[in-house]
Structure 1
Amino acid sequence: MKWNILSYAVAAAIVGHSALASANEEGLFRLDFNIRRGNSKRDLIEESTDGAYFVKRDGFVDMELKNERTFYLTTLKIGSNKDENGVLVDTGSSDLWVMSHDLKCDQAPPSSKKRGVNLDRRHIEAGSRSIPTKSSPIKDAVENKAWWNPFGSGGSTVTTIISPGFQTDSSGAGIGQEAPSNTCTQYGSFNTENSDTFQRNNSASPFQIEYADGTSAVGIWGHDDVIVGNVTVHSMSFAIANETSSDVGVLGIGLAGLETTFSTRGGGGYTYENLPIKMVNQGLINKNVYSLYLGKATDSSGNILFGAIDHAKFEGDLITVPIINSYASAGYTEPIRLEIIVNNMTLSSSTDEVTVTSRSYSAVLDTGSTLSYLPSALFTRVGEALGGSYSSAIGAYLLPCTSSSNIKLTLNIGGMDIDVPLTDLLLRGSSSSSSVCYLGILEQSSSSRYMLLGDNILRHAYVVYDLEDLEISVGQVVFTDDEDIEVITSTVPGAVRAADFSSTSVSPGETETSLTDHIVVSGTTSRSTSTSTGSSSGNRNSGSFSLLREAIPLKFVAFAVSFVALVALV
């Protein structure tokens, strides 16, 4: 899960009442959302005041998502008192946690750091004592730090990225300083004292989590009934935060190995039944599997089908690849995050094709991330292949907004090509009339050698997450309102195992050879040959193309630099 400030608008979906299917239809859930927009989690503007619901269909659960470069927010009712809580739906984490009614709200610092992108090995203590088992958790190796940080900061400072022309949170207060108002309960809270069915888990260690963007939460664990639309999930295990610098709780639906209880400092680690597992054990779905359809970038909705697949949303067959275990060397016997192998990456137009890399990289699939992130070498090669101008002040490549519409980025996964139009990867810079856009693919921290595929790439794939068999099936998405839904009872219908299914290796290192080819981007008037190996940001093209030099006014650059400096000071 990542947070960033680079996107030209941060959107969040809030629950709605209107139904696409009857709530009393046998075996169906459907969850509708309305859109809220803003420049940060603290500045969300309501577009619609409709409420929400889950509907259960025969053998599966349908959760509809509304999205726009963005957060996905759904509403749960918790306990006998049915307290409503808005929570972010996230495949990049695995715990449900909500706000206590009387919690302390801390102020988070403004940051573009990733919220959940990299389970850094510095958080895993070396030696036999760190080998995690069901009863022996991972130890936190960061100086007496008792936080569980599921993805870390990547081991390097991340430049704060600002989009000129868009207001950000003006507060300069950092973690530990109280917020001026109780903003962290604006999406609801839970009063344990008013619920007759709540049971505190006194044997569990305190809930503690910290994200790489600086937000954190601490609290207690407990069990209670959680109502999702017209269905009650009984005795759900979740955390109640009594202090946080976040503004909204999280509904993590990832692998059990990423649950904070499994990696709690001090021993006694264990996994528990999170929402997808609870759905299986309560008989709502047949298998711990769900499929994800985000819709076009201009669409306002998509959906997650729990226990089912929609054949209308992809073309041809799906290719099935294994979820890889990138932390086997740390003692994990099973994967803990949704990570697969990407075999190669190309950029192409109607007349040109450039191989960005023919090497295999691991890739984390994260719906909690608006943008996508690449290792330094690939980040540089993509930017230079497109003739982009790298801005060290804002940490992104700049391109003409009029870049050719026929250019596409292609990722090969298990022999399946997933095409992503360049136009869906560009973010307009300072205003709707600006001729300069950001490339919505950013750089991973220096120690991170994997890709993180966020919404802007994932929306072009139809993805089925089989958390039971530890497999992921992908196909080229078809954007349509048509439905052809089939319940999953065993293997994923219409999916074929990749020819190299058993291969889970990645290419060693991340040094790439020199990139001398470029894609012809509409409007560029000259080209230069890059000699960068892509292994260091110091060799990046910083403006060798005349169109880009002319298209970026000095006041634009000056504003970006001064704005970043201002944020650093506060």
Structure 2
Amino acid sequence: MKFVAAATVAALAVAVSAQKTLEYEIKKGIPGLRMGRPLPPLVGKRFGKRDTLTSMIVNNITGGGYYIDVEVGTPGQPMTMILDTGSSDAWILDVEADLCHSKTLQEKHGDYCSPTYDSSKSSTYKLAVEDGFRIQYLDSSEATGDYITDDFKIANMTIKDLQMGLADKVAMGTGVLGIGFPENVAATDKYPNIIDQLAEQGVINSRAYSLYLNDRRSATGNILFGGIDTNKFMGELSVLPIQRYGLKYSHFVVSMSDLTLTYNGQEESALQAVVNSTGVRGASAILDSGTTLSYLPDKASTILVEALNAYTDYAKTGLTFIDCGLLSSDMKLTFVFNHTTSIVVPVQEMVLDMLDGLDEYFPPDLPFDDVCLFGIQSTNSFGDDMGATSLLGDTFLRSAYVVYDLDHKQIGMAQANWNSTETQILELSSDSDSLPAATGVQDGQATTTATDTVKPSRTAGGGSSTTDAGKETVTVTSTPVMNAARAISTAGVDVLGVMVLAGVFSIFGGGVLFML
């Protein structure tokens, strides 16, 4: 089949002799590569008007999802994978994957294949578990195949014999690089995932990595395995304990003590009402790079919707829209964690201006004319009550510098220093008792002025284009939105269910994508 190639990626690899760290550039979206797809009917449900409208709207949101280029096999075969902190398996597309050879499936799922892997062309390929790989989406679609081992090259480092899924039946056109806790792999028999192998094979000294997404107008961010870059954040790096999810550490869950909106000289808490109404001792949040939007308990999101004069379309799409005029707003949201750590997110970072050409599908009673999508939605979208738990995706994470420490079961967090061009790396070690005390740049040194906001120009068929001013390029593709998934073992007993999304977004255990 014809494949529209992804844009060339410049890999930034930092692995100097004095430090065991590995830094790599990640991309936001892929020009020319459509990652999203329509949602197949749920069991016992037909497509309705709401599903169709939601698909048309959400599939126009671009710039979501972060991707990484790797090579698999000997000689290396290039792959593009979704980078996801919310899952733990790496999996790639088999050259014989059904989606890659069926126009019917491509039309059904609205997706086609990124580069695939041919085991016959790799001298280091080994079959690990035949028919042992299965990840099931919450809309009942799934990716299945074998578990294999092969060499896996990221930047200039090769991981020998990495176990990964090789999917031959898929509903999405790219693989996933899950970098979560190994306890959360989809296999019946647990195995060391990529984070384990980076440490075991001596590439890094600690099962930890730092994620820097940069602001929403930036095309790239980076991930630093085994270290902290003190030039990428401001002030002190706070250390937060990761909470158990059920009986084990499987997701990056932290205590979230407050969320306030500052506007017109006033400050309003959006989270205390949730805590008071649920009767729990405190709220929590899942940090997940595989989720493009952020989701708050309904009471909290409703407070923000009313304060910002946003609008939730309960009748057609289930989505919350906001006035694009707030792109120039000086209002801010302050997320507070563990009563000690504050991350400020400008409201304009939550205003997603990606809905041009869809005016006829908007509700007639919208209180504003220039329509944007709100970067915060209600967890009621999942069709299940999450209590006082929030899911914080990229619309939040772009404002934070986050260190994910699997060894110490800790999260390091500080305000992101946007558009930083300098690097100062601090190596991490598993021999210590905790993440180290680390100080970033002073507030006055921060380069936090974002590029000018520009209305995106559109090209048909998922191409990319620039504005007349030659500023930001925007690709009209469908990109991943929602993650928080479940991985189902072939034995059917190891099921991780995080959230159910009632027909609006599909939640995938690793890479999150639009499945509408």
Normalization by structure 1: what TM-score?
0.62
- SS of residue paired to 2:325: coil
Q: Which amino acid aligns with 1:492?
A: L
- SS of residue paired to 2:191: coil
Matched, 1:353 2:267: yes
Change (3 A) 1:183 1:223: farther
Q: Which residue of 2 aligns with 1:252?
A: 178
Post-superposition Cα deviations, 1:470-517, rounded to whole Å, max 9, x if no partner, equal 111111122222222111123323259xxxxxxxxxxxxxxxxxxxxx
**Greater gyration radius:** 1
Match of 2:304 among 348, 373, 382: 382
Q: Which residue of 1 aligns with 2:332?
A: 408
In 2, the alpha carbon distance for the partners of 1:379 and 1:369 equals 17
Q: Which residue of 1 aligns with 2:436?
A: 493
Change (3 A) 1:182 1:314: closer
Match of 1:391 among 284, 301, 313: 313
Change (3 A) 1:24 1:189: farther
Instruction: State the structure with bigger RCO (CA 8 A, min sep 6), 1 or 2.
Output: 2
Q: Which residue of 2 aligns with 1:101?
A: 95
Q: Which residue of 1 aligns with 2:353?
A: 428
In 2, the alpha carbon distance for the partners of 1:373 and 1:106 equals 33
- SS of residue paired to 1:101: coil
In 2, the alpha carbon distance for the partners of 1:243 and 1:252 equals 19
Identity over aligned residues, as a percent?
A: 28
- SS of residue paired to 2:343: strand
In 1, the alpha carbon distance for the partners of 2:435 and 2:62 equals 29
Q: Which amino acid aligns with 1:401?
A: C
Post-superposition Cα deviations, 1:289-326, rounded to whole Å, max 9, x if no partner, equal 11111111111221111010011222221221111113
Aligned 8 A contact 2:324 2:371 in 1? yes
Normalization by structure 2: what TM-score?
0.68
Matched, 1:186 2:113: yes
RMSD: 3.3
In 2, the alpha carbon distance for the partners of 1:24 and 1:183 equals 46
In 2, the alpha carbon distance for the partners of 1:387 and 1:29 equals 44
Q: Which amino acid aligns with 1:228?
A: I
Aligned 8 A contact 1:79 1:224 in 2? yes
Offset of residue 205 of structure 1: 6.1
- SS of residue paired to 2:234: coil
Q: Which amino acid aligns with 1:472?
A: I
In 2, the alpha carbon distance for the partners of 1:23 and 1:188 equals 30
Matched, 1:207 2:133: yes
In 1, the alpha carbon distance for the partners of 2:242 and 2:371 equals 38
Change (3 A) 1:430 1:105: closer
In 2, the alpha carbon distance for the partners of 1:192 and 1:20 equals 27
In 1, the alpha carbon distance for the partners of 2:370 and 2:108 equals 39
Change (3 A) 1:430 1:78: closer
Unaligned runs of 5+ in 2: 38-60, 276-281, 360-368, 440-503, 505-515
Alignment of 1:428-447 (within 5 A): 428=353, 430-431=355-356, 435-444=370-379, 445=382, 446-447=384-385
In 1, the alpha carbon distance for the partners of 2:162 and 2:290 equals 22
In 2, the alpha carbon distance for the partners of 1:237 and 1:339 equals 26
Offset of residue 107 of structure 1: 11
Aligned 8 A contact 1:342 1:363 in 2? yes
Alignment of 1:211-250 (within 5 A): 211-212=137-138, 215-250=141-176
Offset of residue 387 of structure 1: 2.5
Post-superposition Cα deviations, 1:78-119, rounded to whole Å, max 9, x if no partner, equal 2224222211111111001111111211899xxxxxxxxxxx
In 2, the alpha carbon distance for the partners of 1:440 and 1:455 equals 9
Change (3 A) 1:183 1:425: closer
Q: Which amino acid aligns with 2:422?
A: D
Aligned 8 A contact 2:324 2:370 in 1? yes
In 2, the alpha carbon distance for the partners of 1:391 and 1:350 equals 26
Unaligned runs of 5+ in 1: 1-11, 44-66, 109-172, 262-268, 329-333, 497-563, 565-569
Matched, 1:297 2:216: yes
In 2, the alpha carbon distance for the partners of 1:24 and 1:41 equals 38
Matched, 1:463 2:410: no
Q: Which amino acid aligns with 1:447?
A: D
In 2, the alpha carbon distance for the partners of 1:195 and 1:237 equals 15
Change (3 A) 1:214 1:87: farther
In 2, the alpha carbon distance for the partners of 1:181 and 1:15 equals 28
Offset of residue 436 of structure 1: 2.5
- SS of residue paired to 1:193: helix
Aligned 8 A contact 2:99 2:113 in 1? no
Aligned 8 A contact 2:94 2:116 in 1? yes
Change (3 A) 1:291 1:79: same
Change (3 A) 1:467 1:15: farther
- SS of residue paired to 1:447: coil
